[in-house]
Amino acid sequence: MALTFYMDVHIPAAITAGLRRRNINVITSQEDGTREDDDVLLLQRATSLGRILFSQDQDLLQIAREWQYTGQSFAGLVFSAQQGVSIGQCVEDLELLAQCYAPEEIANQVIFLPLR
């Protein structure tokens, strides 16, 4: 089964649109009504939906690290810094992840973009 993504509120719409043009299953926090939720709730929500959270928010790195340390499960986190990775590169890398990994291979992991 291909990965599905949950986009943090700060992810540019162009990334979401690019993934959708490539038939990658994506939902945004705005669409899901979690626009105002804090980072912990976003990671919990993405996990409850079985979706990998994509974020550019460094606070989520600390949350994921704490959850890994305490054994609290999450679906996975893909992180990209806000600078240094183009929209096109994000789309390509997320598509590659979606096509090459199963959800159980990403569970409880943090993956950093760019991949190369």
Tens digits of per-residue pLDDT, 14-64? 999 999 999 999 999 999 998 888 999 999 999 999 999 999 999 999 999
pLDDT of residue 27: 98
What's the confidence (pLDDT) of residue 22? 97
Among 115, 9, 94, which residue's Cα sits nearest to residue 59?
9
Contact 106, 52 (CB under 8 A): yes
Q: Where are the domains of the chain?
A: 5-113
- Percent of the chain at pLDDT exceeding 70: 99
Are the CB atoms for 113 and 55 separated by under 8 Å? Answer: no
SS3 state of residue 76? coil
Task: Give this prediction's pTM.
Answer: 0.94
Selected from 3.40.50, 3.30.70, 1.25.40, 3.10.110, the CATH number assigned to the domain covering 5-113 reads 3.40.50
Crossing angle between the packed helical segments 13-21 and 87-100, to the nearest 10 degrees: 50
